[in-house]
Structure formats: C-alpha cells, structure tokens
Amino acid sequence: MLDDRVRRVLARLEEEDRAEREQGVARELRARQVERTTGQFLFSLVAPQTDCEVLEVGGSRGYSTIWLAAGVRTFGGRVLSLENDPRKCEAWRTNIAEAGLEAWASLIEGDARETLPAIDDVFDVVFLDAEKEDYEPFFQAARGKVEPGALFVADNVLSHEEALGAYSRARQEDPTLESVTVPLDRGLELSVVLRDVSSDGGSPRKGGGPDLSDSCTGSGGASS
Ligand SMILES: C[S@@+](CC[C@H](N)C(=O)[O-])C[C@H]1O[C@@H](n2cnc3c(N)ncnc32)[C@H](O)[C@@H]1O
C-alpha cells in the first residue's frame, strides 16, 4: 500500500539522489538507488502476491526496499534486505521507520557473501542489486532458497552489459528457468524458476510449488 508516509520518504530519497549526482558525490557514498520506474515495477511484481517473501541483496538506504515492502504490505509478506555499508544501514533503518514499514522489512548488516549463504528461509522473489561481479555467486547462493514459481530480478543488466551479459546468458540458457531481459531503465533480468535444480530436491519448505516446466499438457483448454 502506497500511503502518504511512504510517498514522502520516496520523494525525499529521490531528491537526495538527484542532488548527490548533481554534486558529483563519489559513487561509494551515493545511494545508487534504482530509478523510480524500476521501483514502481518492483512494487507491481510483489503487490498482487499473497505472503510474498522477498530477498533483496544490496539495500543501500532503503529506496528499493520501501517499494518492495509497501508492495508486500498489500497481501502479506516480508522483505529481508542485505547491506554491508554501516552508514547506509543506519540510513536504511531511519528511512524504513519513517515510511512506517518496520513490520514488513528487516535488514541483515554485513557482507552478503557471508550472510546470504547462512539464511535458512525460502523466498518468492529475489532482487539482486549489489556489485556486478557478485551477481553470479549471489544467484547461486539464493538458487537453493527458492521453489518453482519464484522470481529472480537482477538490475543493471543493460547498463552494465559487459559485466552482466554473461549473467543474462547463463539464466536464459538454464532449462530450469524462463528468463527474459526487460529493457526498463538500467535493464532487468527476470528469471522465473520452473523446477528445482536437482530432481531429488528434498522436501519443499514453504508448502511446495508446481513444476512449471510442462504445465500446459493437462486436460481442458482450447488448443491453438
Ligand atoms: C546499487 S546499490 C543498491 C541500491 C538499492 N537497491 C536501492 O535501489 O535503493 C548497491 C548496494 O549494495 C551494497 N553492497 C555491495 N556489495 C555488497 C555485499 N557484498 N554485501 C552486502 N551489500 C553489498 C552497497 O553497499 C550498495 O549500498
């Protein structure tokens, strides 16, 4: 739900981001947040889902977290955000509280290369927005924490095509996924999980999901 509190914080963060870019603030000190339209896109992906568990890698000061948390507030769910910069973590906490979203978002502070593998949870949506060279290990670490029907969203695949082209190609060639590059803002790779990586897979921990890789062979429905 996008109420006035959320809108006010988003507007302030957009203004701060604009000012930082204009003043030429060093990259590592800037929020480096997603475009507003990408935020709206993330919101629209999660808002219709019931009990939507979201993992975000690269929370920065909370701009994209706020879009995601406002989205999951509609029908339930939570956002778990990972961030390693202590100053950004502090700002993240302030901004999430100011937006009134503390009940829908939490933060794990530390290097996601260590914190992500240690998370024992199952996610419906995974949003990757950290350093480009880490996308592949982060994807691999999160791959075992999702079930069929889950969605990976990776930002910057067109703005950083040299670094992330291999990421998109690998996802598009993976038969356990259906993956497409969406040319919105800096480019988003959307990868839907069709089935578990291993056939024995173990027991699903979130109630299980269907194998989506051959879902049109059942009875009924007109053929075209
Ligand atoms: C592009 S910014 C994220 C912007 C944020 N998603 C938003 O739209 O508001 C990338 C963030 O990832 C964080 N980061 C980079 N490497 C990380 C790591 N190994 N573990 C945790 N956070 C990391 C950076 O500190 C930075 O804040």
63: domain CATH number?
3.40.50.150
Pocket test for ligand 1, best of 131, 132, 155 (most atoms within 8 A of CB): 131
Domain residue limits at 165? 34-193
Distance CA 65, CA 221 (A): 39
In SS3 terms, 127-156 reads as EECCCHHHHHHHHHHHHCCEEEEEEEEEEC
* Residues within a 6 A CB radius of ligand 1: 31-34, 58, 60, 63-64, 82-85, 88, 111-113, 129-131, 134
Distance CA 16, CA 91 (A): 12
Please give the C-alpha separations between residue 81 and each of 5, 112, 180, 197, 223, in angstroms, as whole numbers. 20, 10, 24, 25, 43
Give the pair of three-digit tokens for residue 97.
């509280």
- The number of distinct structural domains making up the chain is 1
How many whole angstroms from 130 Cα to the centroid of ligand 1?
A: 4
How many whole angstroms from 81 Cα to the centroid of ligand 1?
A: 10
pLDDT (0 to 100) of residue 78? 98
Q: Decide if 179 is inside a domain.
A: yes
pLDDT (0 to 100) of residue 202? 45
In contact, 35 and 64? CB cutoff 8 Å: no
Q: Decide if 119 is inside a domain.
A: yes
How many whole angstroms from 168 Cα to the centroid of ligand 1?
A: 19
Ligand 1: atom nearest CA of 65 is 9
Q: Decide if 217 is inside a domain.
A: no
Q: Decide if 185 is inside a domain.
A: yes
Q: Decide if 212 is inside a domain.
A: no
Q: Decide if 200 is inside a domain.
A: no
pLDDT (0 to 100) of residue 109? 98
Q: What is the pLDDT of residues 1-27, one digit of tens each?
A: 899 999 999 999 999 999 999 999 999
Residues in the chain, pLDDT under 70: 199-211, 213-224
pLDDT (0 to 100) of residue 176? 98
- For residue 213, give the amino acid letter: S
pLDDT (0 to 100) of residue 157? 98
Distance CA 79, CA 66 (A): 9
Greatest distance between any 2 Cα atoms in the chain: 61
pLDDT (0 to 100) of residue 112? 98
Pocket test for ligand 1, best of 85, 101, 109 (most atoms within 8 A of CB): 85
Q: Decide if 201 is inside a domain.
A: no
pLDDT (0 to 100) of residue 214? 61
Residues whose CB falls within 8 Å of the CB of residue 204, separated by 6 or more in sequence, listed in order: 122, 147
Q: Decide if 207 is inside a domain.
A: no
In contact, 162 and 151? CB cutoff 8 Å: no
